[in-house]
Amino acid sequence: MTEITNFRGETTSQLDSDKSEESVKALIQRVGDRVRKTRERRGISRRVLSEMSGVSPRYLAQLETGAGNISIGLLQRIAVALDHRIEWFVGEEDPWTSEALRVAELFRVSSAETQRSVLQILEPQPTKAMRAGRICLVGLRGAGKSTLGAMVGEALGIPFVELNDEIETQSGMPVSEVMALYGQEGYRKLEAQAVSRVIAMHDEMVLAVAGGIVAEPETYATLLSHFHTVWVRAAPEEHMARVRAQGDERPMAGNPEAMEQLRSILASREALYSKALDHMDTSGQSKNASAAHLIDIIRNRLGDG
């Protein structure tokens, strides 16, 4: 490649290098400014953000002043703690003046009913056609998703699928090993791929997903648009009792605050779970009664579209 020297004696490679360095500095400054403004708008001190994200106060201070070259992993932690997508901090568009980003943020924090109305206007094909005959059961572990999903699938003559089984088939290892080897980020990537695969393979099915999938915006949006979603819920005490009845004592082992933590998780995810098209409470209900209720919901939903 031929280099050209300008009147100051600078070659094209030197100029390109300078531009690249300036671009990096601008990105670091932009990310720092946006993190600081977002934190201040939410009324969160740097110390509190540090505790929420696991990023040290000193590192946060360097980041916010444009002096810290933060890793993607740490920035993702901060984004989660501030309840924003990581792209919001690094994109070239100003998030406070961009109409597209403003609309995206308004959609994200709007009610489930409002979101459904917006999607009905914007979606290129009818919602009923996109969802076909697919049912997805969401909710925290212990609500009865797996038990009811298997019963309903058999009663209606359609496949019942546990998404974690799909992930294990795809990865060739148990979910516990996936988490140990690849961490939460790796598991979520496989989870998203598994959702896309079952959509491509089944027009009719009952799918049970892990409780935390609702915290992954893109994957959850895919579920909401391609499945008739049902939030299966129960009282916190029943959630815990059912998990223990399955032989899993981990939630209570050496953790006297386990029940309080469970209540906190339920409360924090309630707004996300409530985006499901239908809700059903299995508290105090027999398996047969809950299955019959779920079948009625499915038949009404598929009949109405």
Q: Tell me the two tokens of residue 143.
A: 């609500």
**Per-residue pLDDT tens digits for 71-105:** 777 777 787 777 776 777 777 666 655 666 667 76
Specify the pLDDT at position 193: 92
**What Å distances lie between residue 69 and 26, 46, 64, 81, 169, CA to CA?**
11, 18, 10, 19, 39
Mean pLDDT for the stretch of residues 191-200 = 92
Beta carbons of 129 and 265 less than 8 angstroms apart: no
Fold classified for 110-304 = Rossmann fold (3.40.50)
Express each pLDDT in 20-74 by its tens digit. Answer: 677 777 878 888 888 888 888 777 788 888 888 888 888 888 888 887 776 777 7
Alpha helices, H only, the chain: 12-41, 46-53, 57-64, 72-81, 87-90, 99-109, 112-122, 127-131, 145-156, 163-171, 175-201, 217-226, 236-245, 258-273, 287-304
Q: Summarize pLDDT for 116-151 with one digit per residue, the tens.
A: 777 767 765 556 678 889 999 999 888 889 999 999
What is residue 159's predicted lDDT score, i.e. its pLDDT?
95
Check residue 52 and give its pLDDT.
80
Looking at 1.10.260.40, 3.40.50.410, 3.40.50.620, 3.40.50.1820, the CATH number of the domain 12-107 comes to: 1.10.260.40
Q: What is the pLDDT of residues 163-192, one digit of tens each?
A: 999 999 988 899 989 888 888 888 999 999
DSSP one-letter code for 213: G
Averaged pLDDT of the chain:
80
Q: Give start-end residues of each CATH 3.40.50.300 domain in the chain.
A: 110-304
Start-end of CATH 1.10.260.40 domains in the chain: 12-107
